[in-house]
Every structure is written in C-alpha cells, then in structure tokens.
Structure 1
C-alpha cells in the first residue's frame, strides 16, 4: 500500500527537496474530498482508508491534535504541510539511530543490533522480514525515502514507538503472548487507546465465556463428581445437567465468570506496570525474561485479589437447582457456614498452576510463531490471523496439559464442602487420594470439554475483539 502511495504522490529522492511543496500539495488534494481547502477528521479517515493506510481513530486524532495549530478542528494546507515537515524531522532522527554505519541505508544486521541494545533479541531472518515490509525497490535495505514514505502518517515519534508499531503490525517476536498483559505506550495511555483496547478484550472475553459456558460447567462437574465408580462423559454430563435444572442450568455460574473479567483485567494491567518498573534496568528497559516474570506476578496478584469470585463460580456451577438464589446468596451462605477462609480454598494450587501454564503457553506460542516465520513467511513478517489463532490454540492446550492437575485439585478443594461425607483434604492429601483411587488419569477428569472449548473460545474472542476495535475506532 505504501508503494502505491509512493507512486501516486511521492516522487523519487533526487528531486525531493525541490518538490516537497508539490508532494505535500498532491497528497493534500487527495485527502480534501470536498475541495474546500481544509481537511477534517472524517476526510482524513476516508482519504487514508482509500489510500490503503487505515490508521484507526486514535492515530488520526493524534495527527489532528499535533497539526491543528489554530484548534479549529480542521487542517488547512499550511498546517498539513507543517505537520509533515515536523514529523519527517522526527522520522529522520529515528532513521539515523538505526543506520549504525551512516551509509544512508538500514540493513537487517543494523535492526538486530539496535533492538539488542533495547533488550529485544530477534534473528536476522526476522529482521529481513521487517525490512521487506518497508523495502519498496527489493534491495533488502531501506533508504531514507522508503523509510519516510512508510512512516509518513504513522504518529510514532521515536524508535521505541516504531518498535511498538512493528510489534503490532508485523508480529515482532519480543516474548509476549496471551498470558502477558497488554503493554501501552505513553501516547496510547494519554489518548485513551489503552482503555479502549482493554474494553475490547473484556467484552470479547465475556462473549467468549458465555458462548462456551456449558462446556466450562461440564468440566467443573466432571472434575468434582466423576470417578471410577461414577463415570461421567460429555454426553451423560450434559444430559444430567439439563435433567436436573433445565437448559438454563448449563450457564449456572457464568455470571460470576463474566463479572470478574473487569477487576481481574484492571488489577493485572496495573500490577504489570508496577512490576515492570521494579525489574527495569537503569535505562528503563525490560527484557523478555523480566517481562515474563512481571506478567506472571501480575497474574498472581490479580488472582489473589479476585479469588473469592473463583470460589463462588465453582460453588454455583456445582450447586443444585434452588440451592443458591444468586451470587450474593451463595457468598452469604458460604461465609455463615464455613467462615472467611472458605473463600480461599484451593488458592495454593491455583497460584502454583500459573507458572507452568504461563511459561509453557509462552514458550510454545513463540516457538511455533518463530518456526512459521522462519520457514513459511516469504515476503512478510506478519503470520496472519489464522496462523496466530493456531499457535495460540496449540500453546494454550499445551499449557493446560501441564497445569491441569493443579486446576483439578483447586476445583475439588473449592467444592469439597458441598460433597456430603467427603473428608476436607488439603492439596497434598487430595493428590494422594486421587492417585490411590483413580490413578494418574484421575488428575485429568474433565479435560475433554476443556479442550473442546479452546478453539471456539479463541475464535469467538478474536471476532468480537476485532468488531469492538472497529466500533471504538481502533481498527
């Protein structure tokens, strides 16, 4: 798309200085749809989209906020030209910071070297794929004109924000995965883009959980009730739940599961920012290992804060029809009969399960994505939606396999008080009891429906997330 833009309105470097004004004027005319000599936000949005450069509402607002010197809500040609001139100066500094040998071109080795200084390790093959996304003449190096044309309307102002752009648009491998909370630049925080992304993720999670709630409740029922003597499979479990409480009972406990998304996301985001500050080096940079540790600790912090809601979800899911009138009634009865400590039953195996899940999910996701980029990506560093969904599904499945026994122990500890005549065992006691009575396979009761919900959950989340981003101006 940037080659298209370059061909239309950006002449070659040889006459760049002489034609700057003409170049800006040609581009301005393409954006000024109604030919009134001014470009408003709607025209900018439509014009950039027509040129194949959809930035998203926040980026477009950033351009207006920076360029609209008289604050009239429109850009005249002088303001437009001044914004591009100032922006090109910033892009020139970023270009020079990457051009280590000062030969006027950026090569793959220079990208690897520059990112290594910032604590980000990538292979030369991945750096070449980044270059291909910018390289307009096929030389496998990027000169100033190609760099300027590619970032002409990207509101990034320095090399760190450009790296952020590469991370989002070309799936740069810097050690992030679904287990690590979102990171946002200062500009994204100031513009409000951070809360729009979190809101999009929260709504996507709510819809996804609701869509797969019957499988989630079935998993909990099989974890708690299934045994050698009481065999419960997917079909019999679903029939049993419908017979006991009707079709509506398949969603029992889903309300709590949805409600806890907001506080968990907010706490995880806040905690992640704090932990990153603790582990950052003197320059404020943070590496892959530190990012993973910060993310895991943030997850543990969030889980600690909202864990009572996890207990409520399990109790509601396992409870019989009419046993609880709702979440608050459930909480009141638990507190009255078992005391405050009941809201943290199963906490230890839950926290212990975060590290193997997050670590394996992260490692497998990055390994699969890197393998695809190294072996199958021909001219782009972007694997595409379906490849990423596949990597995420496989990595999540591997993470669940490793941490599932701890998840099962957690669920049984949360529900023990509801099982008449069952001893109230601790984590070690439950492990020993399950191994003795059911064998190793007993630690994986309910994993069938758990696996069944992974793909639809990921797919629903992605579709809703993208729709929400479009509606909130982030697409």
Structure 2
C-alpha cells in the first residue's frame, strides 16, 4: 500500500508540474555546447518560453510528454517513497537512543531509494525528455526525435536499439535522482520534525507538509540542477549506427564539455523553470503523500474497529 500511495501522490503532482518540466527541458538543451548564443535563444526566460511554446504548438504543447512523465512519476516514486516509508517505519532512519531522525541515515536511505526508483523508471524518463524536446523551426532545440507517443516510442526504441537502448543515459539519471532524493527526503523529514514542535502545525497534516516541502524544494533545486542538465542532455542526444552518443561518451564527458564551453551557467540552465517545476512538485507530491498516508491509516483504523466490534 505504501508503494501505491507514493506513486499516486507523484502522479497527482506531475499533472501540475509538467508544463514547467517542458520549459526546463528546452532551456537546458538550447545553446547546447555553444558560446554566446543568448540573442538566438527562443526560451530565454520563463515568460518567453511559455509564449514560444504556445505560439509553436498551442496550449497542448505545455503538457507535452505528460503520459511518459506520469509513467515515470508513478514507477519512480512508488518505489522511492514506498521504500523510504518502509525503512522509516522499521526505524532505520532514526537514532536508536532517542528515535529522532538522523540526517546521515535519511541521506543514505533517501539516496538508495532514489537510485532504486530511477533504475526502474529510466525508460519513461528518457522518452519523456525526448518528447518534451520535440518542436519545429526556430523553436526546435537539441536533437529532435520523431516520437508519436509514449508507447510508440518505447516500442520503437526497443526494436531499433534493443533492451539496452531503453536504459541509455542511465548513468546520468542515477546521480540526479540519488542526490535529489537524498536532499528532498532528508530536508523534508527534518523540517517536518521541526514544524511539528509547534502547536499550529501539530493539528494540520496539510500545513506541516506544505511548509516542510517549501523548504525542501529550494534545497532540492540547488543541489540537483547540474545533474538534471546532464541527465537531460545524455537522454536527448542522438546516437550513431553503433548506438554511441553523438555528443557525449558518458556523464563525466557531458559535465566536462558543458562546463568547459558554457561555464557554470551552463550547468544551471533552466534553474528558474526547474524551481517552478520542483518546488510546487515537491509541495504537491509530499503533501499528497502525507495526506494519502493519513487517509490510509484512518481507513485501516476503521477497518480494525469494525473487526473488533
């Protein structure tokens, strides 16, 4: 049940955050491995990016890749949040003496849960990235894949590249999700503990989860964005006849080339859009998660009471 709750919460949040994910993806790909391209960029700011997407593809362009995005959110977060909730219930994230949450253990289990989730959800993330990057004319950025939909893209990728092709770029998403998950779950858990010391928050699951998520979302974006840029570029790059990337050999090659040509700003491309994607997504995801857990506990409690009556 904990695994289904985690996946359902993430899907609810994903519907609201996907437009910012589309913008973030295109900003991370525009001007890829180029210097001094500011005047040529179609997605320079959040407002201009929205206008460019709507102009080229209509309002539906803001929800591009939604199917694969929700697929990734469910698979990744059902695994990630389900595992984290399970180990937390066993007390493996707490000091044995005081039962308070240990930041070190939260980071460890949050990171491991993130790795497990990304390993399973990797194909959906790759297809999501490639579909979100698709546009035309002056609005096209990065390598353009000709996908018609999530299922079609998964089948085509498997047929042309084999099972291994579905996990191309896996080395990019593992550190991204491990770092992001460790930061998100650790800061969320510790902030929730802090806010719960005050009477106002003790009486409201929603208020506690929202406040903790707002803080968690900021730290998440600061720590994860460079890894997010690299993951986006590794997944979206084209491949040659041997299945090798046209631009990057691996995650280290992508980091080095991006930093060497575009500088630190290149590794933080799409930061604002990423914050508007990640912060609300964190708030909605973890708030839904807390609320769903509360409803589950109430349901099980009612079931138990009916059994003993």
- Pair 1:204 & 2:25 matched: no
Q: What does 1:169-184 align with in structure 2 at a 5 Å threshold?
A: none
User: Does the 8 Å CA contact 2:72/2:121 hold for their aligned counterparts?
Assistant: yes
Post-superposition offset of 1:361: 3.1
| Distance in 2 of aligned mates of 1:468 and 1:370 | 17
Question: Is contact 2:10–2:77 with CA below 8 Å preserved after alignment?
Answer: no
- Residues 346 and 413 in structure 1, CA contact (< 8 A), matched pair in contact too: yes
Distance 1:266 1:453, change over 3 A: closer
Contact 2:24–2:274 (CA under 8 A) maintained in structure 1: yes
Shift of 1:447: 1.4
Residue in structure 2 matching 1:457, options 281, 291, 307: 281
| CA shift for structure 1 position 311 | 0.7
Change (3 A) 1:428 1:234: same
2:57 corresponds to 1:245? yes
2:119 to 278, 282, 304: 304
Q: Report deviation, 1:247.
A: 1.6
Structure 2 partner of 1:382: 202
**2:266 paired with 1:442:** yes
Counterpart pick for 1:415 among 236, 240, 246: 236
Say yes or no: does 1:325 pair with 2:148. Answer: yes
Matches within 5 A, 1:399-410: 399-410=220-231
Counterpart residue number, 2:67: 255
Larger relative helix fraction? 2
CA-to-aligned-CA distance 1:111-150 (integer Å, 9 cap, x gap): xxxxxxxxxxxxxxxxxxxxxxxxxxxxxxxxxxxxxxxx
Q: Which fold has the larger relative contact order, with Cα–Cα distance below 8 Å and residues 6 or more apart in sequence? A: 2
Q: Any conservation in 1 of the 2:111–2:179 contact (CA below 8 Å)? A: no
Partner of 2:29: 224
TM-score when normalising by structure 2: 0.71
Question: Separation in 2 of the partners of 1:467 and 1:351?
Answer: 27
> Alpha carbons of 1:269 and 1:424: their partners in 2 closer, same or farther (altered >3 Å)?
closer
Question: Deviation digits for residues 284-320 of structure 1, max 9, x if unmatched?
Answer: xx98455653443232122112211111111111124
C-alpha distance after superposition, 1:256-299 (max 9, x if no partner): 1212344334444675658998x79xx9xx98455653443232
List, as ranges, runs of 4+ consecutive aligned residues in structure 1 with deviation greater than 6 Å. Answer: 274-277
1:200 and 1:465 in contact (8 A); partners too:
no
Distance in structure 2 (CA, Å) of the matches to 1:388 and 1:253: 28
**Post-superposition shift, 1:431?**
1.6
SS at match of 1:445: coil
- Contact 2:3 2:81 survives alignment (8 Å): no
Max Rg structure:
1
- Tell me whether 1:358 sits opposite 2:181 in the alignment: yes
**How many Å apart are 1:241 and its aligned residue?**
2.0
CA distance in 2, matches of 1:380, 1:333: 53
The structural deviation recorded for 1:243 is 2.8
Aligned to 2:253: 429
Query: 2:147 aligns to what SS in structure 1?
Result: coil
Q: Deviations over 1:72-97 (max 9, x none)?
A: xxxxxxxxxxxxxxxxxxxxxxxxxx
User: Shift of residue 255 of structure 1?
Assistant: 0.5
Which residues of structure 1 form unaligned runs of 5+?
A: 1-194
For residues 72 and 178 of structure 2, the distance between their equivalents in structure 1, rounded to whole angstroms, comes to 21
1:236 corresponding residue in structure 2 = 48
1:417, 1:424 within 8 Å by CA — same for their partners in 2? no
Q: In 1, Cα distance between the equivalents of 2:120 and 2:69?
A: 14
Report if the CA contact (8 A) 1:207-1:464 is conserved. Answer: no
1:198 to 1:364, Cα distance in 2 relative to 1, 3 A: closer
Tell me how far 1:201 sits from its aligned partner.
Answer: 4.5
Measured on the aligned residues, the alpha-carbon RMSD in Å equals 4.0
- What stretches of structure 2 of length at least 5 have no aligned partner? 137-144, 302-309
CA shift, 1:466, in A, is 4.0
Normalised by the size of structure 1, how large is the TM-score? 0.49
- Is 2:158 aligned against 1:335? yes
Farther off after superposition, 406-415 or 211-220: 211-220
Measured after TM superposition, the shift of residue 323 of structure 1 is: 2.6
Corresponding residue of 1:150 = none
